[in-house]
Amino acid sequence: MKHILMIATGGTIASRQSGRGLAPSLTGEELLEFLPDLSRICRVVVENPMSLDATDMTAQDRMQLAELIWKNYPLYDGFVIAHGTDTLSYTAALLYHVLRNFNKPVVITGAQVPLGMPDSDAEQNLIDAFKVASSAYCGVCAVLHRRIIRGNHVVKVHTTELDCFRSVNAPQAGRVDPITGKVILNIVPWLGGEPFFVEEIDPNVVLMKLIPDLDPSIITFLSKYKKVIIEGFGSGGIPVRLEKVVQKLILSGTKVYLTSQCIEGETNLHKYEVGRRAEAMGAVSLGHRSTEDALAAIMCGEL
């Protein structure tokens, strides 16, 4: 039987009404009390490193999770993280980029309705997460609403629907069959070599969303940052009226990356003049990456 480390971090899945709104309250051990049949799937040890609404989670918290997994890598067959759904995609992407060539499953799950509440999705998501953590999957993925999504393609697309995550710009890695309950893997990621851990990251990355009438002086203000992502329109590019300030930003030593406000598809700076001029200035296209994936790759120095 597989030996799994469960890491509880808070989120709706572990929340109760505080009188001032939902807030995380249950520990990992308390979550497991709702899963009496789990012992048929795997053996579980619990860690409770934090109890946060995912809105409050920083890159430092995410690195604490990554270190915990890396430290315990030899001791367990797989890992399950119970997490708030709101920034689950950022955690999935960062863990994907810092736990390289990871040849055991690291499964992140959460819920839109707290465990034990009517119509909660929490129990199903947790059971499915433990099944995937006990499977042949390699590396970081999210498991929610029967979907298995690779860590660098996870995006939350709905605030309240139970089926609120999608695999963006890549086929789903697999699913948990609703009839048989079996894990069906479409993709077991290819591993390029020995597992290693990226210990140092630089979280000082800024993301700015363009609006059609953005005040150019806001871009000037960004020169105190070394890495700036500009989320533009469609295939990507810089509006003519912002070209001068963006050029100045790049010349001052800030690296400027361009992505798109479209969730699906890729940033292609070759298609339009506004894109080609941006590229000629030195802006770098983020291609098909989601914002979360791009942020994590930049923090890790891959881009």
State the burial class of residue 218 (Cβ atoms within 10 Å of its Cβ: 0-12, 13-18, 19+).
Answer: exposed
Out of 4, 8, 42, 54, point to the residue binding ligand ASP (CB under 6 A).
Answer: 54
Q: Round to whole Å and give the CA distance between 91 and 291.
A: 12
Q: Does 11 bind ligand ASP (CB under 6 A)?
A: yes
Segment interacting with ligand ASP (CB under 6 A) among 53-61, 182-190, 216-224, 270-278: 53-61
Segment interacting with ligand ASP (CB under 6 A) among 48-56, 133-141, 222-230, 284-292: 48-56
128's enclosing H/E stretch is helix 122-133
Q: Which of 48, 5, 1 is nearest to 26 (CA)?
A: 48
Smallest separation (angstroms) from ligand ASP to the CB of 260? 25
Segment interacting with ligand ASP (CB under 6 A) among 83-91, 181-189, 224-232, 258-266: 83-91
Out of 7, 8, 31, 53, point to the residue binding ligand ASP (CB under 6 A).
Answer: 53
Residue 158: phi, psi to the nearest 5? -145, 140
Q: Round to whole Å and give the CA distance between 270 and 190.
A: 31
Q: Does 84 bind ligand ASP (CB under 6 A)?
A: yes
Smallest separation (angstroms) from ligand ASP to the CB of 81? 12
Out of 85, 135, 152, 290, point to the residue binding ligand ASP (CB under 6 A).
Answer: 85
CB closer to ligand ASP out of 160 and 217: 160
Say whether 233 sits in a helix, a strand or coil: coil
Say whether 35 sits in a helix, a strand or coil: coil
Please list the residues that pair with 123 across neighbouring strands: none
Q: Round to whole Å and give the CA distance between 244 and 27.
A: 52
- Judged by CB under 6 A, the chain residues 96 through 125 that form the site for ligand ASP are 110, 112
Smallest separation (angstroms) from ligand ASP to the CB of 161? 11
State the burial class of residue 291 (Cβ atoms within 10 Å of its Cβ: 0-12, 13-18, 19+).
Answer: buried
Query: Is 87 a residue of the active site?
Result: no
- Side-chain half-sphere CA neighbours of 6 within 13 A: 24
164: tokens are 């609120």
CB closer to ligand ASP out of 55 and 217: 55
Out of 77, 86, 243, 266, point to the residue binding ligand ASP (CB under 6 A).
Answer: 86
Catalytic residue of the set 9, 12, 85, 109: 12
* Catalytic sites, residue numbers: 12
Q: Which residues contact ligand ASP (rule: CB under 6 A)?
A: 11-12, 53-55, 84-86, 110, 112
